[in-house]
């Protein structure tokens, strides 16, 4: 089955700086890659996603890049703000089934 | 749009009892729903895929007789944890996708504590 690795597990960034989280996946058949943000005790919220026919996607301060050849994708958050502090999960999907990465706890330092 | 609700949000039960958790898609129909379990500071682990009108598909290592899933309508799936034990204490989250969509929308989760 699919295996998704995520790094780093924790990340502290000064407010206003950029944060980058990286994931790799094992199954080349995966074709959909969402990123979720989860605050403590709450549901995961989709923040951005990318499909395998696209190399990059941007939504305001958030961007995702996908390298199908290397089987890795990354989340980029620019101009970080305190409210960006949360746990971020990447995921890879074949059909309907999502496999999640292990999560990155992002802390924005004021 | 694409709202998923879950009930109850919290439940505390005694060891040996059964607990039912409901997952509803409020503004769309979902032929498939998913049940995840999340232990503290860990990732979401898929337990099973709930299929409307047919049997659920369980992931390896998940006991189908312990975690009963029923998906009787296009907007409701239920997970029953039978004979719960303290090690079943966890955060249970469901998700669903509108027909033809890749995106999964998550319910708010149910925190189960088994004493």
Within 10 angstroms of residue A83's Cβ, the number of other Cβ atoms is 8
Write the residue in A32, A100, A102 that is nearest to B102 by C-beta. Answer: A32
User: What's the rounded mean pLDDT across residues B68-78?
Assistant: 92
Q: What is the pLDDT of residues A47-106, one digit of tens each?
A: 999 998 889 999 999 999 999 999 999 999 999 999 999 999 999 998 888 999 999 999
* A89 chain-B contacts, CB cut-off 8 A: 43-44
Give the pLDDT band of residue B44 (cuts 50, 70, 90): very high
User: Are the beta carbons of B107 and B97 closer than 8 angstroms?
Assistant: no
3-state secondary structure of A109: strand
**pLDDT grade for B59, boundaries at 50, 70 and 90:** very high
Question: Is the per-residue pLDDT at A19 higher than 70?
Answer: yes
Please provide residue B28's backbone torsions phi and psi, each rounded to the nearest 5 degrees.
Answer: -155, 160
Q: Mutate which of A48, A50, A96 to disrupt the B interface (most B C-beta within 10 Å)?
A: A96
| Closest by Cβ to B43, choosing from A51, A93, A103 | A103
3-class DSSP assignment, residue B51 = strand
């Amino acid at each position: 089955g699919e295996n998704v690795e995520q790094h780093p597990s924790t990340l502290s960034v000064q407010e206003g700086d950029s944060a980058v989280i990286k994931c790799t996946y094992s199954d080349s058949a995966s074709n959909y890659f969402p990123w979720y943000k989860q605050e403590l005790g709450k549901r995961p919220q989709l923040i951005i996603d990318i499909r395998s026919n696209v190399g990059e996607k941007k939504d305001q301060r958030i961007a995702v890049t996908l390298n199908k050849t290397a089987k890795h994708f990354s989340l980029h958050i620019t101009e970080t703000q305190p409210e960006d502090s949360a746990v971020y999960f990447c995921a890879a999907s074949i059909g309907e089934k999502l496999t999640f990465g292990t999560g990155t706890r992002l802390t924005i330092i004021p | 749009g694409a709202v998923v609700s879950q009930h109850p949000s919290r439940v505390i039960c005694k060891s040996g009892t059964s607990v039912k958790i409901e997952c509803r898609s409020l503004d769309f129909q979902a032929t498939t729903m998913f049940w995840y379990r999340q232990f503290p500071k860990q990732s979401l682990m898929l337990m099973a895929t709930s299929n409307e009108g047919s049997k659920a598909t369980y992931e390896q290592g998940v006991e189908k007789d312990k975690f009963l899933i029923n998906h009787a309508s296009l907007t409701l799936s239920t997970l029953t944890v039978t004979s719960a034990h303290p090690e079943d204490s966890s955060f249970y989250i469901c998700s669903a996708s509108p027909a033809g969509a890749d995106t999964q929308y998550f319910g708010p989760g149910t925190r189960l504590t088994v004493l």
